[in-house]
Amino acid sequence: MPITDALAEMVFPPAGDSGGAQSAASLTPTASPFKYVATSRQALHITGGVINTVSYARGSLLLALAVATGGQLIEMNTGDAVTITYATAPTLTIIPR
């Protein structure tokens, strides 16, 4: 029965289904200041390096963010931008949502 199959797939996804999860990807920062604009809903993880400032922009809103020494995760929607100024480049990772 189609209904039974649909219910089973809700509980147990098909073997070839990854559950929609996409792999994280490394991002190499260019010269400081480095600006990254999200192309989809995603998170940006920043760790390491010597970071001076981090700012977040959505439309006309611009916010200064605290610089976290242990790393930080910034949730972004399509079109949001994060600008990082640094003395030593950090490690950046994009995590799709």
Residue pLDDT, tens place only, 27-81: 999 999 999 999 999 999 999 999 999 999 999 999 999 998 889 999 999 999 9
Higher pLDDT, 80 or 20: 80
**To which H or E segment does residue 64 belong?**
strand 61-65
What is the model's pTM? 0.77
Report phi then psi at 11, rounded to 5. -85, -45
**To which H or E segment does residue 3 belong?**
helix 2-11
- pLDDT, position 1: 46
Handedness of CA 92, 70, 95, 17 (dihedral sign): positive
3-state secondary structure of 79: coil
Q: What is the mean pLDDT of residues 18-31?
A: 84
Q: Which fold has domain 20-96?
A: Jelly Rolls (2.60.120)
Q: Place 22 in a pLDDT band, splitting at 50, 70 and 90.
A: confident
- Find out whether 68 and 94 touch, Cβ atoms under 8 Å: no
Question: How many angstroms separate the CA atoms of 48 and 65, rounded?
Answer: 16
3-state secondary structure of 95: strand
